Amino acid sequence: MDIFEVVKEGFNTLTLNKLRTGLAMLGIIIGIGSVIALVSLGQSTQLTIQNQIESLGANLLTVNPGSQQNGVIRGAAGGATTLTLDDANAIKTSPSITTINNVSPEATRRSQVTAGRNNTNTEIVGVTNAYMAVHKIEIASGNFINNTDDQSSAKVAVLGPQVVTDLFGEGADPIGQNIRIKGMAFRVIGVTVSKGGSGFFNQDDIVFIPLSTAMKQVFGINYLTSIAMEAKSQDVMTDAQNQVGYFLLTRHKLNNPSQADFSIFSQNDILNTAASTTGTFTALLGGIAAISLLVGGIGIMNIMLVTVTERTREIGLRKALGAKKQTIVTQFLIESIILTLIGGILGMVFGIAASYVITLLLGSPFTISISSIALAIGVSGATGIIFGWYPSQKAAGLQPIEALRYE
C-alpha cells in the first residue's frame, strides 16, 4: 500500500470519531504546551535575573566581609565587620592595583523611612560619589551625592523611583522635600532612573545618603558592609580579583588565603550562580511538565487499543484478502503518529501563547527556546511511535479466522 494512501486512510479513520480523537490528542496538547510554557517561564526568569545583575554595573567586583569556604560563610575575627573605609581608600590609591577604575565603599541597612503620613521600609545605602560610576546609576532629576556632601556629613538623600511612589505618590516631584530616617530629617536632592527589580532585589526601592552620614549618624558603625569596584575591562576581572585579594590579605596581616576575613565576588560569579540555579529550576519545571506527556502517551495507547478492538473484523477481512502484517502495523502506527503530531503542533501553539501571556502578566521578557519546541515536536512523534507500537502489533497479530468471527 502506498504511504500516502495509508496517511489518507489514517486521517479518514480518525475523523470518524472526532470526540474520541480530540480527547486522545488533549493529553499531548497539554503535555507539549506545558513543557514549552514552563521552559519558557524558566528561561524568562533567568533572563530577568541576568539583566538585573548586569544592571548593577559593568565589570563589577564586590568585596564582602567574612570569608566563604565550601559555600558556607565563615566569620573570621570581627565577623562581618572586617572591612573599613581605610581598606577602600587603600585599594583606590595603591600603585600595585592596576586593574581597577573606580572604588565604591558602601554601608547598607534596611530602615523605616517616613514622609508626612506615609512610610516605607526600604534599603538605606551610604555611598560616595563613586557609587554612581561603579553601579552605572543615572539621575532622572536633581543631583547625586557628591564629595562635599560626604565630607560634610550632609543630611541629603537621593531616592529610587519606588520610594518616591511609596512616600509621595505616583509621578510626584520630591526634590526639595524632606524625609525622615530614624527620626532625622534628610532633604531630597535627586531621583534615580528606574532599573527595575522585585522584592529585596528591587534597585528602585532604595535611598542613597552620604557614606559618612550613614556610618556616623544613622547606623553608628565604623566598618563597611561592602566595597564595590569597577574593573577596567572584562578581560582583567580575574587579575583584579587576585590583585585586590592579595592586597587585602597583606593589609589584614594574613599569610594564607584560606584565612581570609573577606570574600570577593565578580559579576561573572553571580551570573553563573544565578544561571545554575535558574537552570535547575527550569529543568525541574520541564521534568514536571514532561510527566503530562507520559500521561498523554498512555491515553493515546488506550485509545488505539480500543480502536483495535472495534476494528477486529476489519483487520481480519484485510488479512484474509492478503494484507501483510507490516501493512497492518504501518496503518496503526501512522494513525498514532498523526494523533501525536497534530497534538504536538496544537500544543506548541498553546505553549507559546501561554508563555507570552504569563511573561506579559509578570512583566518579564518574552523568550522562546527553539530547541524546546523542536524537542517537544520530536517527543510527540516519538510518543506516537512508542505508544502506538503495542496496539499495532496486537492488531497485526490477530488470526484472520478468529478476527472474522469476532462479535
CA–CA separation, 167 vs 146, rounded Å?
24
Question: Where exactly are the structural domains of the chain?
Answer: 3-52+279-405, 104-228
More confident residue, 98 or 199: 98
**CA–CA gap between residue 108 and residue 208 (Å, rounded):** 9
Q: In the predicted model, what is the mean pLDDT of the chain?
A: 80
Q: Would you say residue 322 has pLDDT above 80?
A: no
Q: Which of 181, 194, 278, 262 is nearest to 229 (CA)?
A: 262
Q: Which amino acid is at 238?
A: T
92-124: b (≥16 Cβ within 10 Å) or e: bebeebebbebbbbbbeeeeebebeeeebebbb
Over 80: is that where the pLDDT of 316 sits?
no
Average pLDDT of span 66-86 = 59
| 90 vs 136, residue with greater confidence | 90
Of 76 and 27, the one with more pLDDT: 27
The neighbouring-strand residues paired with 62 are 228, 265
| Whether pLDDT at 81 is above 60 | yes
pLDDT tens digits, residue range 41-59? Answer: 877 877 777 666 666 655 8
Which tops the pLDDT comparison, 385 or 183?
183
pLDDT higher at 243 or 274? 243
Q: In this predicted model, which residue has the larger pLDDT, 358 or 106?
A: 106
Q: According to the model, what pLDDT value does residue 20 have?
A: 74
> Is the Cβ–Cβ distance between 243 and 99 less than 8 Å?
yes
In the predicted structure, residue 352 carries a pLDDT above the cut 70: yes
pLDDT at 238 over 90: no
Say yes or no to pLDDT of 313 above 70.
Answer: no
Q: Which amino acid is at 88?
A: A
